[in-house]
Amino acid sequence: MTNRYNDIIGLPHPTSAKHPRMPLSDRAAIFSPFAALTGHGAAIVETARLTDRKIELDEDSRAVLDEKQRYLEEIIGQQPEVTVTWFQPDERKDGGSYVTVTGKLKRTDGVERVMLLTDGTRIPLDDIVGIESKQLPGAFRDEF
């Protein structure tokens, strides 16, 4: 049986002196399908990302947080170490997440309604759901 390519079947693969061979990974990219839905995968991932709903505190819990904050403001010169939990709204979708941070209290700004820590963290007062500190009186430590 004779084949019309028998004369070149045994020859080595031709190699150009001017152009190096393309790596297989680049060659595969040439033949990859066109991504007509660019960004669709990212949109699906974003939609699947879960967020929490903001907890609305009752008046009693809010009053306890206010008392803790007032006490901490009285001893602010000592830069008490506090652990604060607050709701951080998500920038892209409804809901958000709860963030807990520990640091030394620098001051509270009643005008901007933020609590400032010495490391520069700014915590919105209206979003705080929990404050803990070893420097709070014992009655406060048993709360929230």
Q: What is the 3-state secondary structure (H, E, C) of the chain?
A: CCCCCCCCCCCCCCCCCCCCCCCHHHHHHHCCCCCCCCCHHHHHHHHHCCCECCCCCCHHHHHHHHHHHHHHHHCHHHCCEEEEEEEEECCCCCCEEEEEEEEEEEEEECCCCEEEECCCCEEEHHHEEEEECCCCCHHHHCCC
In terms of pLDDT, which residue wins out, 35 or 110? 110
Average of per-residue pLDDT across 14-35: 80
Domain ranges of the chain: 59-141
Query: Using CA atoms, how far apart are residues 49 and 109, in angstroms rounded to an integer?
Result: 33
| Mean pLDDT, rounded, for 53-62 | 88
Lookup result for tokens 């652990």: 83
Residue pair 105/122 in contact (Cβ under 8 Å)? The answer is no
Q: What is the mean pLDDT of residues 34-60?
A: 78
pLDDT for 65-97, tens place per residue? Answer: 999 999 999 998 999 999 999 998 888 778 888
50 falls in which pLDDT band (50, 70, 90)?
confident
What pLDDT is recorded for position 25? 81
Q: pLDDT confidence of 8, banded at 50, 70, 90? A: confident
Model confidence pLDDT, tens digit, residues 102-118: 999 999 988 999 999 99
**What is the token pair recorded at 121?**
């963290």
Question: Between 104 and 26, where is the model more confident?
Answer: 104
Q: Which CATH class is domain 59-141?
A: mainly beta
Phi/psi of residue 41, each to 5°?
A: -60, -40
What pLDDT is recorded for position 144? 42
